[in-house]
Amino acid sequence: MMRSVRRFPLLLTGGLIALLAGSPGAGAETLLRTRLNADIRSTDPGTNRDANTDGVMAHVVEGLVAFRDDTSVGPMLAESWTISDDGKSYTFKLRPGVKFHNGATMSADDVVWSLKRWLDPATQWRCLSEFGPNGIARIEKIDAIDAQTVTVTLDQPTALFLPTLARPDCGQTAILHRDSVGADGKWIAPIGTGPFKLGEWKRGQYVDVIKFDGYAARNEPRTGLTGAKAAAVDRVRFNVIPDSAAAKAGLLSGDLDVIMSLSIPDMGDLKTRPEVQLSITPSLSMTGILFQTRDPLLKDVRIRRALALALDMPQIVDVVMEGTARANNSALPIGSPFHGGVQAQGYKQDLAEAKKLLAAAGYRGQPIKLITNKRYSFVFDAAVLAQEMARAVGINIELEVLDWAAQLDRYNRGDYQAMAFIYSARLDPSLSFEMVMGPKASQPRKVWDNAEAQEMLRQSMLTSDPAKRQALFDEMHRRFIADVPMIVLFNGSELTALRKSVKGYAGWLYPQARFWGVSLQP
């Protein structure tokens, strides 16, 4: 029986009546209904994309390799691979019997075609620059050795080749059937190998993905974006619902099954609802306070350090994240396997020392403008708390609240004194450092401009030896804490609310939905 429209009045805006029209009737297909806070940008993974696009397309396409839960890289469409002694050639053995959504069997020729398409500048692949003159390595050759074997040859060894292929924001370097594009090379729609195939995309309303009956699942347990990925429902509908109150109402009324990326206030209310279950998973995102180290005032490291020592980090995290996160001053997130004892060493509140540093720097209460936003409530709340704590040692912080787009523009231009900011997750530790460090002259958005540290970062991208990488990350952390180019406050958490009928859902360090293996039960 169709659900009554009157039960869900808040969603009857912006064309969202379609959500109700998709509600399952008796004996109908099993339909899992979730929410997107904005529409996807396209169906072309790794090119015209954003986080929502990545999340939907991850159900449709797959690459040779994929990230596991622990951020290591595992096999996906590749059964296995070997690396040459010089570290330049990767030979992939493909899994036999993998089918595209059009019924064709995947072969080495499909892999070669897909990889060459990604490397064509006309495709505008997000990761193309990684294989350009200033990237991690050039791809010199892509060869099909036989129907089930492909070799990729680089111009130099790099630890980031497989992690780059696996990047969700780069479409997982998906292996696609060539009919995904027209004779002119223009994009049509993804014909992938994933557990779901693309269904209807009604712009501004919903995107459907439909169970692919010909899917060839791996045997290992589900982990990250690899392992067993069989669909346990017939269809997943990603409903576009920008308003969080409307989404929450939909969950409580039973017209939505899952809401990801909850706000902290919503989590507190939903925690008390008997029909709702919560999934709270630490993530690799990073919230902190950035400094413009070329600013006439903040170029003095003593003032930056004084602010760091004025802050009670655990208290800030407890207040703004309500027990769902822990303080962390390292650019390496707590969930990273490279986050250890060294990374646990950071700033401890010391008001007396902060005042001494300010006196030595000749600071006399000059205002420091701290940009923040209200799109992310925890970022704004952290800025307010930092302002209050800084006042206790005589630091005069003035808040400037911008909308998120304006703040991003200022960030990209390096046009600020200080800024409360959130970075999205990076799954490789080198990339966690790379997103904050680099030469300001050519990359003004970068916070930490330290030539010696940049060379360490380059070395960390070349070696695959875990011990050597750990030593490099340890030393980079020590210098990061000493230089105080920013104050990392905490890593975030992915907060998801689900109806009690949803079974098998599991969050992971990367805040992206995975609806394979997820079922609906009465």
User: Which of helix, strand or coil describes residue 169?
Assistant: helix
Which CATH number does the domain housing residue 111 bear?
A: 3.90.76.10
Position of tokens 């523009």? 409
Is 396 a member of any domain? yes
Whether residue 86 sits in one domain with residue 73: yes
Whether residue 217 sits in one domain with residue 307: no
Is 277 a member of any domain? no
Give the span between the Cα atoms of 224 and 226, in whole angstroms: 6
Tokens of 186: 């223009």
Query: Exposed (0-12), middle (13-18) or buried (19+): which is 76, by Cβ within 10 Å?
Result: buried
Q: What is the pLDDT along the chain (522 residues), one digit of tens a residue?
A: 333 333 333 343 434 434 444 444 446 789 999 999 899 999 999 998 988 999 999 999 999 999 999 999 999 999 999 999 999 999 999 999 999 999 999 999 999 999 999 999 999 999 999 998 889 999 999 999 999 999 999 999 999 999 999 999 999 999 999 999 999 999 999 999 999 999 999 999 999 999 999 999 999 999 999 999 999 999 999 999 999 899 999 999 999 999 998 888 888 889 999 999 999 999 999 999 999 999 999 999 999 999 999 999 999 999 999 989 999 999 999 989 999 999 999 999 999 999 999 999 999 999 999 999 998 889 999 999 999 999 999 999 999 999 988 999 999 999 999 999 999 888 999 999 999 999 999 999 999 999 999 999 999 999 989 999 999 999 999 999 999 999 999 999 999 999 999 999 999 989 888 999 999 998
Whether residue 417 sits in one domain with residue 364: yes
Whether residue 137 sits in one domain with residue 47: no
Is 480 a member of any domain? yes
Q: List for the chain the helix, strand, coil content (%; round to 5).
A: 30, 25, 45
Whether residue 505 sits in one domain with residue 488: no
| Residue 265, pLDDT score | 83
| Alpha-helix residue ranges (DSSP H) falling in 331-398 | 351-361, 377-391
| Residue 13, pLDDT score | 41
**Which structural domain range is residue 356 located in?**
284-492
Whether residue 407 sits in one domain with residue 380: yes
Do the Cβ atoms of 95 and 79 come closer than 8 Å?
yes
Whether residue 137 sits in one domain with residue 252: no
Position of tokens 């401009």? 449
Which CATH number does the domain housing residue 206 bear?
A: 3.40.190.10
Question: What are the residues facing 367 on neighbouring strands?
Answer: 396
Question: What are the residues facing 79 on neighbouring strands?
Answer: none
**End residue of a domain, out of 144, 178, 212:** 178
**End residue of a domain, out of 127, 150, 178:** 178
Single-letter code of the amino acid located at 445: R
Is 266 a member of any domain? no
Whether residue 70 sits in one domain with residue 56: no
Give the span between the Cα atoms of 83 and 92, in whole angstroms: 9
Single-letter code of the amino acid located at 366: Q
Single-letter code of the amino acid located at 281: T
Task: Give the residue from 275, 233, 274, 280 showing the smallest Cα distance to 255.
Answer: 275
Is 273 a member of any domain? no
For the chain, how many structural domains are there in total? 3
Whether residue 207 sits in one domain with residue 72: no
Whether residue 107 sits in one domain with residue 17: no
Single-letter code of the amino acid located at 275: E
Tokens of 263: 């706000």
Whether residue 299 sits in one domain with residue 350: yes
Nearest 5°: phi and psi at 302? -65, -35
Do the Cβ atoms of 486 and 301 come closer than 8 Å?
no
Do the Cβ atoms of 292 and 416 come closer than 8 Å?
yes
Those residues whose C-beta lies under 8 Å from the C-beta of residue 9, and which sit 6 or more positions away, are none
Is 263 a member of any domain? no
Give the span between the Cα atoms of 363 and 348, in whole angstroms: 21
Which CATH number does the domain housing residue 378 bear?
A: 3.10.105.10
Is 262 a member of any domain? no
| Residue 27, pLDDT score | 60
> DSSP readout, 135-156?
SS--EEEEEEEETTEEEEEESS
Is 365 a member of any domain? yes
Give the span between the Cα atoms of 122 and 275, in whole angstroms: 49
Whether residue 473 sits in one domain with residue 379: yes
